[in-house]
Amino acid sequence: FLGFVTTGPIFITVGPFSKLGEWIHEYIAAPKMKVDKYGRPYQAPYGMRKIEAALIDAGINAAIIDPDHVHKYIPNARVLMLSHHDYFGLNPPSSTWSAIVGKEPLNAYLFRKFMLRIRPYIMEAKERNGLKVVVGGPSAWQWLYLPELMSFFGIDVVFDGEGERLVVNLVKRILDNEPVPRYVYVGPNDAPSIDEIPTIKYPAVNGFVEIGRGCPRGCAFCPVTLRPLRWYPLDKIEEELKLHVKHGIVHGLIHSDDVPLYGSVGVELNPDKLIKLHQLVKKYYLTMAWSHTTLGSILAAEKKYNRLATKIAEIIEDEHQDWWGAQVGLETGSRRLAKAIMPGKAAPFKIEDWWDVVEESLAIMHEIKLIPALTAIVGLPGETPDDVMETIELLDRIRPYRSLVVPMFYVPMNHIRAEKDGWIIKYNLMPEHIELLKKMFEHSIYWAKDIVNHFYLKGPQYWPVRVAVNYFINYVEKKVRALYDRLDQIAAEITNKRLVSKVEAPKLIELFNSSEE
């Protein structure tokens, strides 16, 4: 949950001591990772670990290096590969915060500092030994909208998609001085099979272990649905669990886009495989969490499969943990929009019953102490004031259930660039959206305080972090409440003028050109 803080701007400022505010944010949401004498991190993002493993298995001398140490290796490197979850803060919820407060999100700010710091090394290595720079990861697409920055930083290849099958060939071609494409897109036909996905060689952040890829629900706004559905066998999952435990990591996260669907061939659950999966994970990890689930899966597990959600909770919750978390897509409270853009979201239940699915599922989660971070999309195409009011009404109904609600502005890709030197979010803002954002904020602040003080970071060893997080929550609450009058004024102006509101976010090219850090 704390990782979400990196998607927002630096809220806390300490007078003239701007670096202190930055340090507080990093301490809470992005603490420095321990490294060995070579600058290799103790843990690294899971996707990078998979690519590292594929290259090592192919006999290529590859390693993940911490950002603070990478400059030491660039002069002699042939290939520099970069990955980031949100290079320029264009993904939601980063773009949401940028639109609301007009400030650069922390994740993009830290990446900008890093790139400006290593740029001289990159340019020198290109001249001296023909270094090639490849950018990938879940936000690789962002570079395509900013060709000026590709040129500025000497980016040679953008690699977009699952890389285990194609990345080795790309790197070998670079090492053999063969021409390579500027853009590589991995479509469904090029996605690796389970057998082609290697076991990671070194630990991933938070003991992360993937259990499958793809999703069968077919939501219109989600790229994951384009990927074929694949599940790892238990023995392959166990290999990575053992690796983490070997390195002293006994707290972890299992990942798929809908964990309860593990072992299924569609949206119908496989109780036997799901129970065996959790028994296996708890054999190695003292505490565990899920990356994602859906409201439909939780409700189906409990109602259609003989209280399966409760049975899973009984496996997870023991003397080492009494709750777990997951990211869950609420998306909208509008039943009309839900039927149009995500008809499979409630399956095996009917999307027409979306409100009942949401409320009943959250009641189950509350009871079994599964704490969801709910994501809700603001400004979906075709959204009307009535649609927004339905979402507000649904939030009122789910207020009794422990959860966080994270707003995400819908950002059409053709609106990322407004002019040569910047980008905007062009957004049809309605007065109802202002009320919706306030409702989400009130819900999340209320439950964030409860979660931090009764569930999260328990134990005396976490007291300093808990104090810092409580201070941060109270500080953000105070800052946002101070904006309420301005938000009401904006809502009134929109009502009177009935205009399309352009919300300007930080102009990326200007930020890079003005920075000499």
pLDDT at 370: 98
pLDDT at 227 exceeding the cut of 60: yes
Mean pLDDT of 198-212: 98
* Per-residue pLDDT, 409: 80
Mean pLDDT of 253-277: 97
**Is it the case that residue 350 has pLDDT exceeding 80?**
yes
- The pLDDT tens digits for 450-475 are 888 777 766 666 667 667 676 667 76
pLDDT value at residue 484: 72
More confident residue, 426 or 192: 192
The confidence band for 329, taking pLDDT boundaries of 50, 70 and 90, is very high
The Cβ of residue 219 has, within 10 Å, a number of other Cβ atoms equal to 18
CA distance 462 to 350: 43
pLDDT at position 425, please? 38
Mean pLDDT of the chain, nearest integer? 87
The DSSP element (H or E) to which 421 belongs, if any, is: none
What percent of the chain lies above the pLDDT cut of 90? 65
Interval 473-486: pLDDT, tens: 776 777 677 767 76
Q: Per-residue pLDDT for 507 more than 90?
A: no
For residue 325 the two structure tokens come to: 């978390």
Per-residue tokens: 327: 């990211």
- Is the pLDDT at 344 greater than 80? The verdict is yes
- Contact status, residue 508 vs residue 88, Cβ threshold 8 Å: yes
Average pLDDT score over residue span 242-269: 97
Q: Where are the alpha helices (DSSP H) in 130-223?
A: 147-153, 167-175
Q: Is the pLDDT of residue 499 over 60?
A: no
- Residue pLDDT, tens place only, 62-112: 999 999 999 999 999 999 999 999 998 887 777 766 666 667 788 888 899
pLDDT at position 391 is 98
Quick one: pLDDT band at residue 426, thresholds 50, 70, 90?
very low
In the structure encoding, which two tokens stand for residue 184, read together? 């590589």
> What is the predicted pLDDT for the residue at 15?
54
Whole-angstrom Cα distance, residue 6 to residue 26? 8
Contact assessment for residue 227 and residue 162, using Cβ atoms and an 8 Å cutoff: yes
Q: Read off the pLDDT of each residue in 319-336 and give the average, rounded to a whole number.
A: 96
Structure tokens at 9: 């701007």
pLDDT, residue 503, reads 39
> Residue 459: what pLDDT?
66
Q: Are the beta carbons of 375 and 406 closer than 8 angstroms?
A: yes
Between 21 and 383, whose confidence is greater? 383
In DSSP terms, 333 is beta-bridged to none
Element (H, E) at 209: strand 208-210
Higher pLDDT, 11 or 297: 297
Task: Note the Cα 353 to chain centre separation in Å.
Answer: 28
